[in-house]
Amino acid sequence: MRSTPHILVINGTKVRRPVFVLGAPHSGADLVARAVKRSTGFHLTVGRPGVLRVTYAFARRPSIASERGRGAARVLRDAFAEAWQVSARGCAECPAECRELSGLGPAGPGGDDLPPPCTEPRGISRFADASPDLLYSADVLLDAFPDAQLLQVIRDGRDVVADMLDDERCMAWFRPGLANLDEVFPNPFFGVEDVLERDRWPRAAMAVRCALRWRGSVRLSARLRAQTPDEQLMTVRYEELVARPGRVADAVSHYLGTPVSKAALHGLVRRGDREAGERQPGTWRDRLTTRQLVQVEKVAGPELRRLGYELSGVS
């Protein structure tokens, strides 16, 4: 049973129907977040320290959230109450990604020369967040904000793995000592669900570990879809977002009940830009070795097929 509504006021504005953008690492959630952040009336944050401390605690040890019950929802709500405050000093804590989503430059060296806030409090009517790995706190989010709207992004796991392998921050989670599989098993964060996978983990290739993380995240997304009303959860396909950004913007606008910036979605993945070109669907064909592709499809093949992605046939 969801908790009763709680009145949260930020800078004089009541928090109603907050929006949370969810997805596996490199799923494309940042593209949807950019469109929401640049839409009139929205204040979207990403990666504020207080939020990350709480969400990663829940992600790494799900029992913390389940054992605390409604207390977990209160802790998470308090973290967002702080994160959504609009002030120069508060915004100075935002990571570079948050300012980049607004189209702003780096915050600078800090000190007394604080950066200007990315939005004006008087223009805010909706609050949102797209911090990494929010997916693992989805149940707590809905307990903390019973009227929340979730936007989850799904992308071909092979493209996700290719991006993860090139991301030092993603790879850092696989360093010895960080995989808490002995204390937390099954482990949703690492996608390890059976004893054989746990036993093989220390010797597993990085592509296998990335594939397990993707597989675990889309299974969580499927369970979330099954237990959440349509008016509170919308799934966006990354491939549809790239191919038909205008149509996706219209669908998201209809779901949220407020216009979402089409301009922020159009041209997000341009073929002439090397970095953006790597975000085109299907680049895994050039970026994964044959061995890596076999490893990924062996681990995540059933989920790829379930989501409608055709397997390569390489074995």
Region 142-158 average pLDDT: 97
Q: What's the CA gap between 53 and 174, in Å, rounded? A: 19
Contact of 134 with 21, CB cutoff 8 Å: yes
pLDDT of residue 113: 65
**Among 19-33, 56-70, 174-188, 235-249, the least confident range:** 56-70
Q: Is the pLDDT of residue 299 over 80?
A: yes
Distance of CA 120 to the CA centre of its chain: 25
189, amino acid identity? F
Q: What is the pLDDT of residue 5?
A: 59
Q: What is the C-alpha to C-alpha distance for residues 92 and 107, in angstroms, rounded to an integer?
A: 7
- Strand 233-237 to 149-154 pairing: parallel
Of residues 136, 137, 121, the one with CA closest to residue 86? 121
pLDDT at 1: 43
User: Are 22 and 131 a contacting pair, CB within 8 Å?
Assistant: no
Higher pLDDT, 277 or 98: 98
pLDDT (tens digit, 9 = 90+) per residue, 100-121?
777 765 555 444 566 677 777 7
Task: At 272, list the tokens.
Answer: 């002439």
Does the pLDDT at position 90 exceed 60?
yes
Question: How sure is the predictor about 70, in pLDDT bands with cuts at 50, 70 and 90?
Answer: confident
More confident residue, 268 or 295: 295
| Residue 50 CA neighbour count, 13 Å, CB half | 16
For residues 31 and 268, the answer to whether their CB atoms sit within 8 Å is yes
Q: Which domains does the chain have, with CATH numbers?
A: 1-155+229-268 (3.40.50), 156-228+277-309 (no CATH)
Rounded CA-CA distance 77/4 in Å is 13
Adjacency order of strands within the sheet including 126-129: 42-45, 126-129, 19-23, 149-154, 233-237
**Which of 273 and 236 is assigned the larger pLDDT?**
236
Q: Does residue 84 register a pLDDT over 80?
A: yes
2-16, 117-131, 264-278: which is most confident = 117-131
- For residue 91, name the pLDDT band (cuts at 50, 70, 90): confident
The whole-chain average pLDDT of the chain stands at 89
pLDDT of residue 4: 53
What is the C-alpha to C-alpha distance for residues 291 and 309, in angstroms, rounded to an integer? 19
Pair type for strands 13-14 and 9-10: antiparallel
pLDDT tens digits for 202-225?
999 999 999 999 999 999 999 999
Q: What is the pLDDT of residues 118-144, one digit of tens each?
A: 777 788 999 999 999 999 999 999 999
> Residue-wise over 27-40: b if at least 16 C-beta within 10 A, else e?
bbbbbbbbbbbbbe
- Residue in this structure with the two tokens 């709480």, named with its chain if needed: 54
Give me the numbers of helices (H) and strands (E) for the chain, helices first please.
16, 7
Q: What are phi and psi of 237, to 5 degrees?
A: -85, 130
CB 134 within 8 A of CB 20: yes
Q: What residue type is 301 in one-letter code?
A: G
For residue 193, what is the enclosing H or E element?
none
- Two tokens at 199? 């036993």
pLDDT exceeds cutoff 80 at 304: yes
